[in-house]
């Protein structure tokens, strides 16, 4: 069994950086009609990011048994919802 340490690094390197960029972009927008649409779009992206972060955190805290002899398809299934299907 392996605790997914690399998932923690992925969260720090990718998700937190993206969240900070989205926050910064939202802070630069005004109250014009065009910017309101952009705020809604960014808000949806932020909600999706939070949901993904929650899934990633749950997997990172669990112990996942990975056997390289099982093959890629079997091991990918263990990360359902986090990676694209193959």
10, part of any domain: yes
Q: What is the residue range of 36's domain?
A: 2-77
Cα 16 from Cα 6, distance rounded (Å) = 15
Query: 37-69: per-residue pLDDT in tens?
Result: 999 999 999 998 888 888 888 887 787 788 888
User: How many other CB atoms sit within 10 Å of the CB of residue 51?
Assistant: 11
Is residue 76 a contact partner of residue 85, using CB atoms and an 8 Å limit? Answer: yes
pTM over 0.85: no
How many domains does the chain fold into? Answer: 1
3-state secondary structure of 83: strand
Instruction: Note the helical H segments in 1-86.
Output: 5-10, 16-28, 33-61, 72-77
What does the pLDDT average to over 12-39? 86
For residue 6, what pLDDT is reported? 60
Assigned domain for 86 exists: no
% of the chain surpassing 70 pLDDT: 83
Residue 85 lies in a domain: no
């Amino acid at each position: 069994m392996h605790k997914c340490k690399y998932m923690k690094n992925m969260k720090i390197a990718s998700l937190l950086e993206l969240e900070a960029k989205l926050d910064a972009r939202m802070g630069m927008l005004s109250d014009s009609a065009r910017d309101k649409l952009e705020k809604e779009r960014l808000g949806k992206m932020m909600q999706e990011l939070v949901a993904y972060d929650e899934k990633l955190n749950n997997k990172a805290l669990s112990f996942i048994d990975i056997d390289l002899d099982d093959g890629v398809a079997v091991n990918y299934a263990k990360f359902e919802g986090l990676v694209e299907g193959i």
